[in-house]
Structure 1
Amino acid sequence: MRTRRYYIEIAVVAIFSALLSVVAYHHFFNKTQVVYNYPNYARQVAYSDTGSQPIDFTYAAEQTIHAVVHVRTKSKVETTYRNPIYEFFYGDGTITREQPVVGFGSGVIISPDGYIVTNHHVIKGAEEIVVKLNDNREFDAKLIGSDPSTDLALLKIDGNNFPFIPFGNSDALRVGEWVLAVGNPYNLTSTVTAGIVSAKARNLNIIDDNYRLESFIQTDAALNPGNSGGALVNTRGELVGINTAILSPSGSYAGNSFAIPVTIVKKVVDDLREYGVVQRAFLGITPTDMNAEIAKQHDIATTIGVYVSDVRETGAAKEAGIKKGDVVMKINEVPVQNTAELQEQLSKYRPGDKVKVTVLRDNKEKTFDVILRNLQGETKVVKSTDVAETVIFGAKFAEITDEEKSKLGIRYGVKVVELTPGKFSRAGIEEGFIITRMNNKPVTSIAELKKILNNTRGGVYIEGVYPNGVIAYYAFGI
């Protein structure tokens, strides 16, 4: 028979178990939830300022991807090497051979009848240009013209009803605004990347031309080799730039990409279509970006703008009354903070156009009406047919014909068609001489000859051939 003590022990064990269960529940299952209420500083990056609607990248991509083309070029380069055995027996052992080179890049169709914008460096020296559309159709492209100073070129393919990208307004772009880059990196066709406008009016000094015009849009949209000549578009699918360069220690994307603003592109395209050459308008000053040091040295009450270090004797600025020591602040009421912005504004105009230039003189603003001029100090429009009439160091030049190339066994050259007293005649060059190389660089056109001379300091070494097949060499100093 169970005793009273037995029942008391059972009761104690039951009470202890109940208490243990309660403690265990509170310890393991009923913890108090702690909520940290941080201020909402973060914002989802794919949403607009209003927070109401997401930014639709798909619309811009669909509107533009079919109008960005793959550009394939074929050219030849000369390689020179020495043969010591040949040199031992026969003297000069220098051997030159041509090697085929294939290049790739991107281009943007800008009209339904097949005009295409790309970079000058994409098609430079090309003997054959083939364009491949997003639907895999291929076309032989004709080079309408190119402009080394802006690194732009205009191509044309035959046909109609091509997809194209309309021009936008790069002046209206804001830092922080979303943009898309469309192109063919590493031959990966129809590639779209996104980023924001990181800065505007960047001058990188990367274009190989004495009269380069650089005012790049900087973005962080990923660009790689093959993107050159492709489209930079806004979220409405409008063209705002032509992708051109990256800054990278490795040659691949490193966070900084650069595009030529469409304001420059449109002017270059219009000039190449209408005149065959770009009409560059110059103010006729030696510009220097304003800074604190210049402001202090000359007691100028601003650190932004373009300081006039000098004025050209036959330039537009001097004719209008602008002086050395002035600070250019505006072009047609558009503020300019540095040389790149000044060049971008001037690039919209042609020689002979009148613009209002606002300067700071004695810390007071003055406005001048300036009639812009070309590099030669003239206001007339230059056409491609006039290029051959350009006198350089007393010589006039003309492009050579295919018949002359075939007869002499050369692929390129520029003929001296007329000589007046100057460096070319004093060097012994005679009329009819065809210049094939200058300072060991191929002379493929009159524009290329001018470019080589513009970028040369010191001496000029010329190789060429006369119509009778006699090879000759000349040299003179600059």
Structure 2
Amino acid sequence: MKSKSVALLFALATSILGLTVGLLAADKAADKAAPKTATPLKKPTLKIDASPIGEVKGLVTSYADVLEAIRPAVVSVTSSKMVRQQVPEFLRQFGAQGREQKQSGLGSGVIISTDGFIITNNHVVEEADELKVFLNDDREFIAKVIGTDPKTDVAVIKIEAENLPAATLADSSKLRVGDVVFAIGNPLGVGQTVTMGIISATGRKVGILDEVGGYEDFIQTDAAINQGNSGGALIDARGRLVGINSAIISTSQGNIGIGFAIPINLASSIMHSLIDTGTVARGYMGVGTDPNPLTPDLAESFGLPKDTKGVVVTDLNPADGPAAKAGLKREDIITAIDGKAVASRDDLRMIVAQTAPGTKVTVKYYRDGKPQSAEITLGKLPDENAPTGELVSGVSVSPLTDDLRKELRIDDRVEGVVITEIATNSPYRETFPQGAVIEQLNRAPVTDLASAKRALRDGRNIALIFYRGVYRYVMFNTR
């Protein structure tokens, strides 16, 4: 992405369709920012076909029938946000402020349930003030964001509609290099477009998400992907969803046959977590490993065959973490987790992160040249990128990390956001004690600042808090 010769077009949806300049009325902005009543989300019913694509017998002259069912499930997504123009420093000293502008962007999305859940990219919806979804039948809907995950570039949005066309999901782990695929989206705003190619590679890690400490396991394809395809569908020859188009590498800011899609297995696991909790809970083992793969010479020095694949444990952090409790030690060589081969640090990180906290996994490893196994109950990885900030006037909250649990002596069974600061002039100073955990708002579970804000109502609210070992309900009004 930093190379002069290669531009990583991570933000495919940022094709600017035009700028509409105008001052926002303060009361209009306030209306838009007003919180809405939260209602429990009904989990989507998914259609899944996990069989491999197999061989297609006979001469294929058209894929029109295959694509006919899936095309209505691919939608266009437009985003808009207000940005303020920069003004010179000397003008700011006199109180001058830049004009606010409406900035628009274009992307795509895939309907994955008949009641309106849509998977797209995080960068399609990031920081948007308004999202609109356009269906193939020319219907238009306002969409709300259910949750986003910058670390995988996955987002889930929802429109209020019923009996929608929905994609059937395949098992992306069964994809093979050479499988025929189709990319569907709205490139450059020309309208829904289908392009054809093959799977060029799987398991690609290209550094696109390094800035957010992301998890990359991309499908690479030569099916033409351009700006506006972000969040669109990658389809197999049976018309099933195998990936969510996300990025390209190009020397010309256009397609040169190197595109990347998020495997649907990864995207759907993130989707379920976002729908259930509004955030993503990732497992962790508590091991540090050698960043380099196990070389033949290093394997031999540990008394193993030269062709052994695995990662060497170099540290156990924390000392009382899941791996340490299960008996792992430095110089153990991890080779598999729950039957999935571990050949690199990235393999280990991806497998563990995709497994829910509290899950018991079987870890295969070598110690002193002998094969061993251990059952490890994964802990919860703190979300370093989870937002902190003000929930209501003068009340700041933060995700409940392991460090905060220890500091405040909060039991592992307690979930929510912790009140880290209350301003002296806050109208809620007598309502909330600092150090209390807000576990529910208006009977909706709270996991981070975003889910807490979604649950807030305009007017009377009820919160379930945990403080000094006791649960209690508090009532408060938003102003």
Question: What TM-score comes out, normalization by structure 1 length?
Answer: 0.66
- 2: distance between equivalents of 1:373 and 1:280? 8
Any conservation in 2 of the 1:271–1:279 contact (CA below 8 Å)?
Answer: yes
Any conservation in 2 of the 1:216–1:260 contact (CA below 8 Å)?
Answer: yes
Alignment of 1:267-278 (within 5 A): 267-278=269-280
User: What displacement does 1:81 show?
Assistant: 2.8
Alignment of 1:317-356 (within 5 A): 317-356=323-362
SS in structure 2 of the partner of residue 81 of structure 1: coil
- 2: distance between equivalents of 1:129 and 1:104? 10
User: 1:75 aligns to what?
Assistant: 81
Aligned residues: 352
Alignment of 1:8-27 (within 5 A): none
| Aligned residue identity for 2:317 | R
User: What displacement does 1:209 show?
Assistant: 5.1
- 2: distance between equivalents of 1:258 and 1:61? 20
Q: Structure 1's 143 and 253: CA in aligned 2 closer, same or farther, altered over 3 A?
A: same
- 2: distance between equivalents of 1:63 and 1:289? 45
User: 2:146 aligns to what?
Assistant: 144
- 2: distance between equivalents of 1:311 and 1:342? 14
Q: Note if 1:290 corresponds to 2:293.
A: yes
Any conservation in 2 of the 1:181–1:230 contact (CA below 8 Å)?
Answer: yes
User: 2:157 aligns to what?
Assistant: 155
User: What displacement does 1:292 show?
Assistant: 3.1
User: What displacement does 1:418 show?
Assistant: 3.9
Q: Structure 1's 334 and 417: CA in aligned 2 closer, same or farther, altered over 3 A?
A: closer
Q: Structure 1's 49 and 158: CA in aligned 2 closer, same or farther, altered over 3 A?
A: closer
Q: More relative contact order in 1 or in 2 (CA 8 Å, sep 6+)?
A: 2
Q: Note if 1:63 corresponds to 2:66.
A: no
Please say which of residues 298-307 and 131-140 is displaced more in the overlay: 298-307
| Greater percentage in helix | 1
One of 126, 129, 154 as aligned partner of 2:128: 126
Q: Structure 1's 51 and 269: CA in aligned 2 closer, same or farther, altered over 3 A?
A: closer
Q: Structure 1's 419 and 255: CA in aligned 2 closer, same or farther, altered over 3 A?
A: same
Please say which of residues 272-281 and 131-140 is displaced more in the overlay: 272-281
| Aligned residue identity for 2:375 | D
- 1: distance between equivalents of 2:81 and 2:248? 24
- 1: distance between equivalents of 2:253 and 2:149? 24
User: Which protein shows a greater Rg?
Assistant: 1
SS in structure 2 of the partner of residue 150 of structure 1: coil
User: What displacement does 1:330 show?
Assistant: 1.5
- 2: distance between equivalents of 1:260 and 1:431? 47
Any conservation in 1 of the 2:122–2:149 contact (CA below 8 Å)?
Answer: yes
Any conservation in 2 of the 1:215–1:341 contact (CA below 8 Å)?
Answer: no
SS in structure 1 of the partner of residue 250 of structure 2: coil
> CA-atom RMSD, angstroms?
3.4
SS in structure 2 of the partner of residue 295 of structure 1: helix
- 2: distance between equivalents of 1:80 and 1:307? 50
Any conservation in 1 of the 2:364–2:374 contact (CA below 8 Å)?
Answer: yes
- 2: distance between equivalents of 1:354 and 1:318? 14
SS in structure 2 of the partner of residue 247 of structure 1: strand
Q: Structure 1's 416 and 99: CA in aligned 2 closer, same or farther, altered over 3 A?
A: farther
Q: Deviations over 1:164-187 (max 9, x none)?
A: 111110111112211111111111
SS in structure 1 of the partner of residue 85 of structure 2: strand
User: 1:29 aligns to what?
Assistant: none
| Aligned residue identity for 1:259 | A
- 1: distance between equivalents of 2:228 and 2:241? 18
Any conservation in 2 of the 1:148–1:208 contact (CA below 8 Å)?
Answer: no
- 2: distance between equivalents of 1:61 and 1:240? 13
Any conservation in 1 of the 2:397–2:419 contact (CA below 8 Å)?
Answer: no
Q: Note if 1:366 corresponds to 2:372.
A: yes
| Aligned residue identity for 1:390 | P
Any conservation in 1 of the 2:299–2:308 contact (CA below 8 Å)?
Answer: no
Alignment of 1:359-398 (within 5 A): 359-376=365-382, 388=397, 390=399
Alignment of 1:45-444 (within 5 A): 52-54=58-60, 57-82=63-88, 84=90, 86=91, 91=93, 95-207=97-209, 210-287=212-289, 288-292=291-295, 295=298, 299=302, 301-302=306-307, 304-313=309-318, 314-376=320-382, 388=397, 390=399, 418-419=420-421, 432=426
SS in structure 1 of the partner of residue 106 of structure 2: strand
Q: Deviations over 1:308-365 (max 9, x none)?
A: 3433114322222223333332121122333443344334421001111112333433
Q: Structure 1's 418 and 227: CA in aligned 2 closer, same or farther, altered over 3 A?
A: same
- 2: distance between equivalents of 1:56 and 1:171? 26
User: What displacement does 1:83 show?
Assistant: 5.3
- 2: distance between equivalents of 1:294 and 1:82? 60
| Aligned residue identity for 2:254 | S
- 2: distance between equivalents of 1:303 and 1:181? 38
| Aligned residue identity for 2:101 | Q
| Aligned residue identity for 2:267 | V
User: What displacement does 1:368 show?
Assistant: 1.4
Any conservation in 2 of the 1:418–1:431 contact (CA below 8 Å)?
Answer: no
- 2: distance between equivalents of 1:131 and 1:62? 20
- 1: distance between equivalents of 2:62 and 2:425? 63
- 2: distance between equivalents of 1:49 and 1:66? 26
Q: Structure 1's 250 and 446: CA in aligned 2 closer, same or farther, altered over 3 A?
A: farther
SS in structure 2 of the partner of residue 122 of structure 1: helix
Any conservation in 2 of the 1:79–1:97 contact (CA below 8 Å)?
Answer: yes
User: What displacement does 1:295 show?
Assistant: 2.9
Any conservation in 2 of the 1:328–1:360 contact (CA below 8 Å)?
Answer: yes
